[in-house]
Amino acid sequence: MKCPICGNPDSRVIDSREAGTGDAIRRRRECESCHRRFTTYERAEEFIPRVIKKDGRREEFSRFKLMAGLSRACQKTRVSSVELEAFIDGLLARIQDRMATEVESCWIGGEVMDFLREKDPVAYVRFASVYRRFTDIEAFEDEIRLLLRQPERRDSPEAER
């Protein structure tokens, strides 16, 4: 594995263990040249659907792009990266179950919105503001009003009061 720090192609595995839900292996490696350590993940090659964008373009589904967007939305919230990985795994499984080689980006966005609405309202509004391209404060207010009209979740801290 090529070192991301110095680019040397030789590294050795220091530690290996299951990652997330057990469908990946996390490896700690040490570069043979600069001796810096880094982490890699190994997953079985899986079916990668194509995403049909709003403008009609098609591109390969990017787990990295989805994780980056979810991570930004969930910064400083209770939602863990393990939960986000599990969501993405489940999303890919649902796409495979549909036996779809292509899926519309709006379907993926809807699934993400549903997930975040259940997990954390702040993360939901953050994601919605980008996904729905809010242009003014009224759009935020409208989305928050809709969110407040929904029945309170049983697993939320507010429900314990």
Q: Where are the domains of the chain?
A: 1-44, 46-150
pLDDT at 161 over 80: no
Q: Which pLDDT band, with edges at 50, 70 and 90, does 151 fall under?
A: low
When the pLDDT of each residue in the chain is averaged and rounded to a whole number, the result is 85
pLDDT at 152 over 70: no
Q: Mean pLDDT over residues 67-91, rounded? A: 92
d(C-alpha 140, C-alpha 126), whole Å = 9
pLDDT for 142 equals: 78
Q: Mean pLDDT over residues 20-38, rounded? A: 90
Residue 93: is it exposed, middle or buried by C-beta count within 10 angstroms (0-12/13-18/19+)?
A: exposed
